[in-house]
Amino acid sequence: MFEPIAYQKSMNLSANILLVDWGGLAAQEYFESAMYAQKVGRTLAEFLLVMRHQGQLPSYALVHIIGFCLGAQVAAAASYHLKQRLGNFAVIGRITGY
């Protein structure tokens, strides 16, 4: 998990890395966890909105969300909720799902 952070530091890249730990919600029965994935995605979208509003995020196009399994659904839900809220002004730059 920490290899990407070490790689980022070794390359002298300017980036912020945010890890979303929703393990407690994801550890439920699959359908319940899937329901929580939507809520976590909405919360992530709200967090990105706050970051943008406070000037901490220059553009949503610079965001790359990576998710594994239901985490990919969280990424999609975050993108969906941003677009619902702001239209095409809130396009996430990249989503990678595994």
Q: Is 1 within the bounds of a domain? A: no
Q: Is 35 within the bounds of a domain? A: yes
What is the pTM assigned to this prediction? 0.82
- Its domain, for residue 51, covers 20-97
Of 69, 97, 65, 58, the C-alpha closest to 81 is: 65
Does the structure show a pLDDT above 90 at 53? yes
The whole-angstrom distance between residue 12's C-alpha and the CA centroid of its chain comes to 23
Neighbours of 51 (CB within 10 A): 16
Q: How many domains is the chain built from?
A: 1
Q: Is 12 within the bounds of a domain? A: no
Q: Is 47 within the bounds of a domain? A: yes
Mean pLDDT for the chain? 86
Dump pLDDT digits (tens) for 23-33.
899 898 999 99
Q: Is 52 within the bounds of a domain? A: yes
Task: Return d(Cα 37, Cα 72) in angstroms, integer.
Answer: 9
Task: Return d(Cα 7, Cα 25) in angstroms, integer.
Answer: 30
Does the structure show a pLDDT above 80 at 35? yes
